[in-house]
Amino acid sequence: MAREERNDRQGREEGSELIDKLVSINRVAKVVKGGRRFGFAALVVVGDGKGKVGYGSGKAKEVSDAMRKALDDAKKKMVRIPLREGRTLHHDLYGRFGAGKVIIRTAPVGTGIIAGGPMRAVFEALGVQDVVAKSVGTSNPHNMLKATFAALQDMKSPRAVAAKRGKKVGDIVERRENEKSKTKTDVKE
């Protein structure tokens, strides 16, 4: 009995490291012969604040049960997203799911999270501190979340690109910084 309580406490401590954000809760109705049966559908985003994030949905008769199911689903679907300097993304992204389209841009230090609704919840749970995001098309939270995740899964770190090309990370990053410095010197002349 004591061992089960100890394991349960450790599980709760591990779970407390995760950041969970409730994106939406929706009351749904099932029409039956005697009238309507009401239930709830929850949409939740979970992340560790260090580059892992996931989303999940759950349905139940009670709000708390729906949220618990959504949290469990989100924990199962967590993915790792590479972050630059632990605060922003490596490059600009575009994602689409259904009618939901999102444009995500990197931002300099101190910009903060400029995004609305479900996208803000994803970035806060992910641990991104500086990003600018725009949603175009639908405002349906399910489609916006799926479009955001579609974009984030296209993220490639310089290390992954270097490995794929058979080069060193310094060659790829250095080239980008040299191009920026060349354009700055061209503008000054």
User: Rounded to two decimals, what is the model's pTM?
Assistant: 0.78
Distance in Å from the first CA to the final CA of the chain: 77
pLDDT at residue 139, rounded to an integer? 87
For 135, counting Cβ atoms within 10 Å of its Cβ (0-12 exposed, 13-18 middle, 19+ buried), the class is buried
For 149, counting Cβ atoms within 10 Å of its Cβ (0-12 exposed, 13-18 middle, 19+ buried), the class is buried
112 conformational bin, left if phi > 0, alpha if psi -120 to 50, beta if neither: left
* Sheet with 131-137: strands ordered across: 93-97, 100-106, 131-137, 113-114
Average pLDDT over all residues of the chain:
83
Architecture category of domain 83-168 in CATH: 2-Layer Sandwich (3.30)
For the chain, what are the domain ranges?
2-79, 83-168
Task: Tell me the per-residue pLDDT of 112-150, one tens digit each, with 9 for 90 and over.
Answer: 899 988 999 999 999 888 999 999 988 899 999 999 999
pLDDT at residue 66, rounded to an integer? 94
Task: Tell me the per-residue pLDDT of 72-105, one tens digit each, with 9 for 90 and over.
Answer: 999 999 999 888 887 888 888 999 998 989 999 9
Residue 10 has pLDDT above 80, yes or no: no
Do residues 122 and 130 lie in contact, with contact meaning Cβ atoms separated by under 8 Å? no
b/e 59-94 (16+ beta carbons within 10 angstroms → b): ebeeeeebbebbbebbeeebeebebeeebbbbeebe
Architecture category of domain 2-79 in CATH: 2-Layer Sandwich (3.30)
Q: What are phi and psi for residue 7, nearest 5 degrees?
A: -60, -40
Cα–Cα dist 83/8, whole Å:
32
